[in-house]
Amino acid sequence: MRIAATVAAIWVVGIAGAAMAQAQGTQCANPNALGIARTVEIDTTAGPGFGFEQYKAHDFLLLKEVVFTFDDGPWPNNTKAVLDALANHCTKAIFFPIGKHALYHPEILKEVAAAGHSVGGHTWSHANLSKGKGENAIEEIEKGFSAVKLAIGTNPVPFFRFPYLQDPEAARTYLGSRNIAMFSHDLDSFDFKMRKPEDVVKSIMTKLEKKGKGIILMHDFQQSTAKAMPELLNELKAKGYKVVHMKAKAPVTTIAKWDEAAKGEIKGATPGGDRPTASVVRTIEEANTNQPVAAKK
């Protein structure tokens, strides 16, 4: 009985502690951090769409709630600056990396995933899926997810954003069949057209004041965005906005064929290149190193 009582008490303390940490953002060194107001779990079965620019089925954000999304990374310096700014505000985002970039800079994307952000897919090569044949769209989608998986070492979340927001019906149907959610946006920062960080902040704040809430489209690939992040987050906090973190109920399951195709894209890759070197190269004969080396003349 005593043991049972102790276990029950620990359980209650554990719940209280976790709830308090969530409510007060404990472990966050910044007293003016945005933090995370709400974490939502998305059941991606049949490929639901989010972001009213294109998909209007699920209006789940409350007034003043925002979701951060970052496209086209990972990229040296800029992605890291975005990560640092988010970490300083103890908050989270969704990243939609390009497959090729994921394989150029896997160590950066690993950091994104390790920080607890949701990492989805944005095609292999940022192709416009409205052009070309359907088969090409499947390859772009799948190889993109496989490349992200290869970079982060774990299955990505089944969240996808179409490059240029070009979403042909066949590709949407395919994503539905793969239980991958589609992300448009409520608010496009157009950060890729801006060189000055202050313009990025102004663009987002002005649009947010009109709409009151929304999924925000930004690019961690862009230097202007990377530089704008600290000020943007400070302003959002000052104006009373709240961050919603979107997670997936279950990860995407990549397809072996495309995992192999992504592996083949790694520079210098050869068949069997992913086997541990020790199982490929074995020393079978070695000179006796105990023998005295001839003295140098």
Residues that bind Zn ion (CB under 5 A): 71-72, 163
Shortest distance, position 161 Cβ to Zn ion, whole Å: 7
Shortest distance, position 192 Cβ to Zn ion, whole Å: 8
Shortest distance, position 219 Cβ to Zn ion, whole Å: 7
Task: Give the integer Cα–Cα distance in Å for 224 and 204.
Answer: 13
Shortest distance, position 252 Cβ to Zn ion, whole Å: 19
121 secondary structure, DSSP code: B
Count of helices and strands (H, E) across the chain: 10, 10
Q: For residues 71 and 139, which CB has a smaller minimum distance to Zn ion in the complex?
A: 71
Shortest distance, position 165 Cβ to Zn ion, whole Å: 9
Which is nearest to 246 in space by CA: 150, 181, 189? 181
Q: For residues 6 and 166, which CB has a smaller minimum distance to Zn ion in the complex?
A: 166
Residue keyed to tokens 């040296």: 76
Is the separation of the CB atoms in 242 and 216 below 8 Å? no
Is the separation of the CB atoms in 103 and 129 below 8 Å? no
Number of Cβ atoms within 10 Å of the Cβ of 175: 25
Is the separation of the CB atoms in 244 and 61 below 8 Å? yes
165 secondary structure, DSSP code: G
Residue keyed to tokens 């995370």: 36
Q: For residues 71 and 186, which CB has a smaller minimum distance to Zn ion in the complex?
A: 71
Q: For residues 174 and 221, which CB has a smaller minimum distance to Zn ion in the complex?
A: 221
Task: Give the integer Cα–Cα distance in Å for 276 and 273.
Answer: 8
Burial code (b: 16+ CB inside 10 Å, e: under 16) for 102-122 equals bbbbbebbbbbbeeebbbbbb
Q: How far apart are the first and last CA of the chain?
A: 82
Q: For residues 142 and 220, which CB has a smaller minimum distance to Zn ion in the complex?
A: 220
Task: Give the integer Cα–Cα distance in Å for 26 and 97.
Answer: 30
Q: For residues 11 and 164, which CB has a smaller minimum distance to Zn ion in the complex?
A: 164
Q: For residues 71 and 191, which CB has a smaller minimum distance to Zn ion in the complex?
A: 71
Q: For residues 142 and 191, which CB has a smaller minimum distance to Zn ion in the complex?
A: 191
Cα-Cα-Cα-Cα dihedral of 36, 41, 47, 50, to 10°? Answer: -30
Shortest distance, position 101 Cβ to Zn ion, whole Å: 10
Shortest distance, position 257 Cβ to Zn ion, whole Å: 25
Which is nearest to 172 in space by CA: 187, 156, 157, 161? 161
Residue nearest to Zn ion (CB): 71
Shortest distance, position 32 Cβ to Zn ion, whole Å: 31
